[in-house]
Amino acid sequence: MSIFENRRFTIISISTLVLLNLILLGLIVGPTFGKRDADRRGGDQRSAYMAEKLGFTENQIQTYDSLNASHRQETGALQQNIDEKRRMMFQLSRSSSVTIEQADSLSLEIGVLVSDMEFRTYEHISNVRALCTPPQLAQLDSLIQQMIKRRQTNERERDRNGSPSR
């Protein structure tokens, strides 16, 4: 009687292999599964954190949430446009018949879009500042400086470790 003729051994072996495959799939797919939803929730958590740290009233919170929603919508559309232009730039790099003018034109378009995003961020911060009372302004300035410092730290960390895949 061979080992494979034993029905119990075969069932246990197949079950073990299926279980190991499911575990491996979970380890591979799990970390990225639902990432976009988590990123969106992160924006909501940041909004709530800012409102809490600044001590906003209910009226201020409603206005702040409205400002945030419109800002995210505008910058999201701009970011998609920037990403598309960058994909086009990458496609140009794969072609052998590209002129420098084509690459320069796309580069300028990307620059204009990035500049527009920075200006909209400036407008958003100005609108939030207009919403704040004088004591809240000092706290807002402190929070913005912390965010800038954190972003710089994250960029340096990404540069050291390589940029994350999107």
Residue 166: inside a domain, yes or no?
no
Q: What is the pLDDT along the chain (166 residues), one digit of tens a residue?
A: 565 567 777 888 888 888 888 888 777 777 665 555 444 445 567 778 888 888 999 999 999 999 999 999 999 999 999 999 999 888 888 888 888 888 889 899 999 999 999 999 999 999 999 999 999 999 999 988 988 888 888 777 777 776 554 4
Query: pTM for this structure?
Result: 0.63
Helical ranges in the chain per DSSP H: 7-29, 35-54, 58-93, 100-131, 134-161
Name, in order, each residue with C-beta under 8 angstroms of 67's C-beta and a sequence gap of 6 or more: 124, 127, 128, 131
Query: What domain range includes position 117?
Result: 36-161
Is residue 129 within 8 A of residue 76, CB to CB? The reply is: no
Let me know whether 14 and 27 are in one domain.
yes
* Token pair in block for residue 72: 């995210």
| CATH of residue 153 | 1.20.120
Let me know whether 63 and 142 are in one domain.
yes
Is residue 113 within 8 A of residue 81, CB to CB? The reply is: yes
Let me know whether 136 and 63 are in one domain.
yes
Name, in order, each residue with C-beta under 8 angstroms of 98's C-beta and a sequence gap of 6 or more: 92
The CA distance from 12 to 19, in Å, is 10
- State the first-to-last Cα distance of the chain, in angstroms, to the nearest integer: 54
Residue 25: inside a domain, yes or no?
yes
Let me know whether 64 and 136 are in one domain.
yes
